[in-house]
C-alpha cells in the first residue's frame, strides 16, 4: 500500500499542469492531451446556410493533418472545395478553377493541432499573424477558456479561444478582410464526443455579432477508411464514401 505522502504525490502529479503563460503553451497542452488518441479521419454531412439564406448540403471528408474535401450536392455537379497541404483548390464541373496557397486556420486549430508536432502548428499560427506571447483566462458560454492573442477588453485583435477543460478550440475574432470596422468571428459550438476526441456540430460565422453563415453537422464518423486519392488534387475523382442513401436524404 502507498504511504500517504506517496499517494498525495501521485495525485498531485495527475493534476493539470500550471496555467499557460503563452499561446505556445496552450498549443502544447492541446496536443499533449490527445497525442496518439485523436481521430485521423472523419466524415460528416453538413447543412450549410449561406448569407443569402440559401441552404446547401455539403459532404465532408477530413484527414488529420491538413486535408479537407467538401463535395457540394448534387454530386453530379462535381463541385468541390479541397484543402490540401496548405493550399486550396476549387473545382467547378470537375475542372480546377482556383488553386492557391492557403493555411486554413479552422483546420489548424480545430483538428491539425492534435495530429502534428506542436512546433508546426505554432509556426503556422505565427505566420497567420497571431501574437502567441499573449494568453489569459476568461469565460465563454459558461465555461472557462484560454484566450490567445489579445489582452483583457480587446475584442478586435486577432485571437483564438480554447476551452480549458476539453482543450478544444471554441472561438476566434479578427478584423474582417477588406471591411473596415467589421470584426469577423467564428464559433465552434455544441461539441460531442467522437472517438477519443471531440467534434463540434455547429459552426457559426459572424460579422459584428450577426450570423452570416451557419454550418450544422450530422452523421459524424471517426477513423473511417477513405478511398485512395480523394485528397490528391489534380484530375477530379468522385468522393467514394458518400452512399446513395446519403444523397437521397
pLDDT in tens, 232-243: 999 999 999 998
Q: What is the pLDDT of residue 14?
A: 39
Cell of 220: 459524424
Q: What is the mean pLDDT of each run of 10 residues along the chain (249 residues)?
A: 45 57 98 97 98 97 97 97 97 97 98 98 98 97 98 94 98 94 97 98 97 98 95 94 77
d(CA 132, CA 118): 13
Location of C-alpha cell 464541373: 93
DSSP one-letter code for 201: S
pLDDT in tens, 30-72: 999 999 999 999 999 999 999 999 999 999 999 999 999 999 9
The three-state secondary structure class of 56 is: strand
Parse the chain into domains and list their residue ranges.
20-222
Location of C-alpha cell 499517494: 7
Beta-bridged to residue 99, according to DSSP, are 89
Predicted structure pTM score:
0.91
Beta-bridged to residue 214, according to DSSP, are 49, 204
Please state which CATH class domain 20-222 belongs to: mainly beta
Cα 7 → chain centroid: 39
Nearest to 200 by CA among 138, 141, 155: 141
Amino acid at each position: 500500500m502507498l504511504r500517504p505522502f506517496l499517494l498525495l504525490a501521485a495525485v498531485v502529479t495527475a493534476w493539470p499542469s500550471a496555467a499557460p503563460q503563452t499561446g505556445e503553451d496552450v498549443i502544447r497542452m492541446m496536443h499533449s492531451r490527445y497525442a496518439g488518441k485523436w481521430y485521423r479521419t472523419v466524415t460528416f454531412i453538413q447543412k450549410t446556410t449561406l448569407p443569402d439564406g440559401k441552404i446547401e448540403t455539403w459532404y465532408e471528408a477530413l484527414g488529420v493533418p491538413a486535408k479537407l474535401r467538401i463535395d457540394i450536392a448534387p454530386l453530379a455537379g462535381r463541385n468541390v472545395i479541397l484543402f490540401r497541404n496548405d493550399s486550396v483548390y476549387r473545382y467547378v464541373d470537375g475542372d480546377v478553377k482556383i488553386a492557391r496557397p492557403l493555411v486554413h486556420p479552422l483546420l489548424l486549430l480545430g483538428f491539425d493541432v492534435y495530429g502534428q508536432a506542436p512546433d508546426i502548428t505554432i509556426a503556422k499560427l505565427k505566420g497567420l499573424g497571431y501574437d502567441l506571447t499573449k494568453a489569459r483566462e476568461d469565460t465563454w458560454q459558461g465555461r472557462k477558456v484560454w484566450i490567445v492573442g489579445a489582452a483583457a477588453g480587446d475584442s478586435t485583435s486577432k485571437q483564438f479561444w480554447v476551452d480549458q477543460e476539453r482543450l478544444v478550440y471554441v472561438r476566434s475574432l479578427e478584423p474582417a478582410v477588406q471591411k473596415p470596422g467589421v470584426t469577423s468571428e467564428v464559433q465552434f459550438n455544441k461539441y460531442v464526443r467522437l472517438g477519443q476526441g471531440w467534434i463540434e456540430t455547429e459552426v457559426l460565422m459572424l460579422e459584428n455579432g450577426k450570423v452570416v453563415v451557419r454550418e450544422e453537422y450530422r452523421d459524424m464518423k471517426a477513423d473511417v477508411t477513405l478511398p485512395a486519392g480523394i485528397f490528391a488534387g489534380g484530375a477530379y475523382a468522385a468522393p467514394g464514401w458518400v452512399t446513395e442513401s446519403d444523397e437521397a436524404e
